[in-house]
Every structure is written in C-alpha cells, then in structure tokens.
Amino acid sequence: MREEKSSKNYVIRVHDHPGNVDATQWNALLDLQPSATPFMQHEYLVAMHDSRSAVDESGWQPQFMTLHDGETLVAACPLYLKAHSSGEYVFDWAWADAYQRHGLRYYPKLLSAVPFTPVPGPRLLAREAGARVALLRGMAQLARDAKLSSAHVLFLDDADQQAARDAGWMMRSTVQFHWQNRQPGGYADFAEFLASLQREKRKKIQQERRKVAEAGVTFTALQGDEISHDDWDFFYRCYTLTYRAHHSSPYLTRDFFQRMADTMPANWLLFIARRGGQRIAASLIAIDPERRAAYGRYWGAIEHISCLHFEACYYQPLAWCIAQGYLRFEGGAQGEHKMARGLMPVQTWSAHWLAHPQFAQAVADFLAREGAGVDSYLDELNERQPFKA
C-alpha cells in the first residue's frame, strides 16, 4: 500500500488487492450513491481477484485508490494497471496502435472499471463532489509518477461525469439498450407490454416465442438460494459453450460464480430451459431488489433451438421484471436488435486522461467527431421507436 497527501489534506492510499480496503466502509460509500449497482459491491470486486478472473497475470493488476480524512474513508474507486484493452467494452485499440506507430508505449495504462462488466454506475465512490475530483487528480498523478500513457474511467454515472468534466478529462460516449417499465404503475403483465408495441414488432415477438414453445421448451426461474450447486455447474457449462462457439475463452472462472453464490446470492436470478425434462440452456441475470433493477449478463445452450436466445435472455427476464414490479432491465453492451424487443437506446459515458499533450489533442479532436456521430446515431434510433405513437 502506498500513501501520499492530496488536496484538503486527504490522504491517498493505493492498494494492491481490493481485499485490503475495509468491506464495510467501501459498501457504506456505495450505498450513498443513488445509481449504485451490485457490481460495485466489495464482494463482487474481491471475487474478481480471488477467483483469478481478473488478476496481475491476466493483465489486471489492482491499484485500488482510497481517500481518507483522518480515519474516515471519504472516497474510493476500483483501479487497475492494465496491460491490454480486453474486457473493457470501450475500445481504444486504435489509440494503442497510434502510440506504437510513433514508437511510444500505450500499455500499461490506468483503468477504473469493473472488469468484464459494461454496466453504467458509480465508479468514483465519494461522500462529496470534491472528493470525486480528488480521486481523478490522484489517478492522473499516479499515472505521471509511473510514466504511464493514460488513465480511463468507464461507464460513469452522472455525478462521475460531472467530476470528470470539472477535472478537465476528455469524455467519450457509446450507446446501450435498456428496457424501462411503464411509469406510473408498471405494465400489468407481458401481454400488456406487448400491446404497447407497434404491430409488426408485436407479431415478431409472438412468432419467436411460439417457436420456442412449439419446440417443447419450458423455463424455470430460480432466485438466490434456490440456485443449487448443480444448477451453477450447469449454467457454467452453458456459459463456456457460448465462448467456445465464438472461438474464445471465458473471462470468468467457475470459482467466481461460486463466490457469488456464497457472498451475494440475493443478487442472482437463473433461468433454466428444459425440453423433455432435460436442461438445455441457462440465462443468468443480476438483480438489485432494493433499486428494482435487473441486468442481463450471461447465457448459453447445449443445443440449438430457433429463437431460444431471445426467449432466455429477453422475454423471460422481461416477464419476470414486470411480474416483480422492477423498474428497468439493462441488456448489456451493443445490440441494436434489442430495440425491436422494447429496449431503448441510452447514452453511456467514459472519461479519459492522456499524458502526451499532442496525443491528448489528437484524441480530443477524434472524440469531438465521434461524439457528433453518436449524437446523430441516437437521433436516428429514437426516430425508429418500437412503441405505438
């Protein structure tokens, strides 16, 4: 652990393991953030490391940063020394290539993010706005001291975005697709949600669901402690098959999910598909019962059935959210096809600091052009509403 003074006499500490930060104080800071998600819980971040899913050897070296006023933890953030750009979902490969072409080193870089988890939310946990800015300045100073190329914060909430702008960081936007329950009151059931969609969208969903039902597939939803060890094993088998189908390796180990079952069971919902009594697919959803939010995460199947992916990853979770009175369902990174299923475009943000002045200016110019394109893309998407007028 390293320690130094910051503005307002804050003491900045850098930790080489998330477990070195007190869990109670970290989670208390998280609870103060209006946009908190389960993915920033101390248990989730420690599990990433201790399960060997995100560790030094795989290019994720923890450098968790905390700010202290005396013995009080006033701010904290997950922070990694990153040897590549995999598992981030905000793509800066072109920046790294440009550095290399000019004989400069882009990696390692500093990254504040939740590994493999492109879910917007707080990254700079703080008791007040000034402490957020102090975290960002601490990151930039840490990068300067280590002669790193850059520092980045991914999928920030509104408060973090304001802090980044106040600190002079460059902002970058991307688009995700989220479902929002009808307000006030919420949809009565999935049929009422369907009725809110345009006729062609409604018919397509009905056809897709009919194909799955006619194939003899049924679903069971298991929440928390209802998910057995055997269910987790089956899910993990499906999860690995998804990666194998794309000729890649899974980011997360089986031990990670075991730690989730042990330390955060209330935050997981598992849909298991069966045909003829045999399990054939699984879809894992993260849930926040307090804030009534759900997050599509992982899925897989041991055999191909037409439209099974849509049923397992969208229609079953949406029906569950409606029945439970949840406010939103986030569908994960990318995926314009989600709009036809009632998930609407949402702008997400990242913040970036580059040490090299000329490269910083070049990236700023690029982000201005890219940002204008994203704005136009959002306008275009919003003109193609799937809902009735």
Question: If you ran DSSP here, which 8-state letter would residue 115 be given?
Answer: T
| Overall size of the chain counted in residues | 389
- pLDDT for 3 equals 54
Q: Average of pLDDT values for 356-365?
A: 97
The alpha carbon torsion through 275, 229, 245, 285 (nearest 10 deg) reads 80
Which stretch of DSSP H or E encloses residue 96? helix 93-101
Percent of the chain with pLDDT over 90: 93
Q: Helix, strand, or coil here: 161?
A: helix
Rounded CA-CA distance 384/382 in Å is 5
Cα three-residue angle 284-285-286, rounded to 5 degrees: 125
Question: Which DSSP category does 212 fall into?
Answer: H
Tell me if 366 sits within 8 A of 194, measured CB to CB: no
Tokens 């590994």 correspond to what residue? Answer: 115
Please report which confidence band the pLDDT of residue 321 belongs to, taking 50, 70 and 90 as the band edges: very high
DSSP letter string over 260-318?
Answer: HHHH-GGGEEEEEEEETTEEEEEEEEEEETTTTEEEEEEEEESS--TTHHHIIIIIHHH
State pLDDT tens for residues 95-136.
Answer: 999 999 999 999 999 999 999 999 999 999 999 999 999 999
Question: What are the tens digits of pLDDT across the range 7-47?
Answer: 577 999 999 999 999 999 999 999 999 999 999 999 999 99
CA 132 to chain centre: 20
